[in-house]
Amino acid sequence: MDRWQVMEVIGMIDWIPWSDHYIVGIDSIDEQHRELFRRFNQVCDAVWDGQGKESIRNFLHYLAQYTQEHFGNEETNMRKHGYPAYEAHKKAHDSLVADVSVFVEKYETEDVPADVVVKVISDLGDWTRNHIRLMDQELGRFLQAQK
């Protein structure tokens, strides 16, 4: 039995699995991150099941909204507590927001091949994991020390 057959037998997999390695120690941020991972996995399942187009559109719109709200919350906390790495962290956020906006526009106006969509989702997952493990966990440690 190959990997995919095993997954069919045991049920849904996490394409982008959540792990305690991603915990930043701020409940509201951790909850938002878990929801983002859940959404990543939902869209990956939809693509895998051949239900991708509308699911991808919904995910991209969710992601555009999520980035605005989630990043806004983080940035508010950074400013409120005088986070010294605010500018670098905000620059990373702004870069992703711009990239997502460009891709959403492209997805809405062009026929984007499925392999490109899968690559973009995979890259977003990689960016998210790396950002959480580096910048967000550093922020979490700083905010916890402020309590």
Residue 10 pLDDT = 43
pTM comes to 0.82
Residue 106 pLDDT = 87
**Domain chopping of the chain, boundaries:** 3-146
> pLDDT over 70 for what percent of the chain?
90
State the burial class of residue 84 (Cβ atoms within 10 Å of its Cβ: 0-12, 13-18, 19+): exposed
Residue 89 pLDDT = 97
Residue 84 pLDDT = 97
What are the tokens at 55? 């699911």
Residue 13 pLDDT = 62
What is the C-alpha to C-alpha distance for residues 89 and 83, in angstroms, rounded to an integer?
10
- Whether domain 3-146 has CATH 1.20.120.50: the reply is yes
Taking only the tens of pLDDT, the chain with its 147 residues reads 444 444 444 445 677 788 889 999 999 999 999 988 888 888 877 777 777 677 788 888 888 888 889 999 999 999 999 999 999 999 999 999 998 888 888 888 888 877 787 788 888 889 999 999 999 999 999 999 987
Percentage helix, strand, coil for the chain under 3-state DSSP, each rounded to 5:
80, 0, 20
Residue 1 pLDDT = 43
